Amino acid sequence: MKEPARSSVLKRLNRIEGQVRGISRMVEEDRYCIDIVTQIAAVRAALRRAEEEVLRDHVGHCVAHAIRSGDPEEQAKKIDELMDVLARSER
């Protein structure tokens, strides 16, 4: 992962980690269920944004490198990896 993306993703993940700790506190404090569910949805959205950023970096760096290499086997491998991860994320 290239540096600008790495630091951005790490910042996002640190914020998400804090959000999850906050949700744990909400559960411990027996807070209103809908407030907890709302925060869980916010964490899922934040994780999707982090995932998107990692995928964008992967396509821009790893997949692009495979395309530039001219190696059909490497290109097929990167495309298959990308399709597999996209299929898994839909579940």
User: pTM value?
Assistant: 0.84
Q: Left (φ > 0), alpha (ψ -120 to 50) or beta: where does 4 sit?
A: alpha
Q: Percentage of residues in the chain with pLDDT exceeding 90? A: 85
Give the CATH number for residue 57: 1.20.58.1000
Question: Residue 81's pLDDT band (boundaries 50, 70, 90)?
Answer: very high
The number of domains in the chain is: 1
Using DSSP, state whether 88 is helix, strand or coil. helix
What domain range is 82 assigned to? 3-89
- DSSP, collapsed to helix, strand or coil, labels residue 71 as coil
Q: Which amino acid is at 16?
A: I
pLDDT digit string, tens, across residues 26-55: 999 999 999 999 999 999 999 999 999 999
- pLDDT bin (cut points 50, 70, 90) of residue 89 is confident
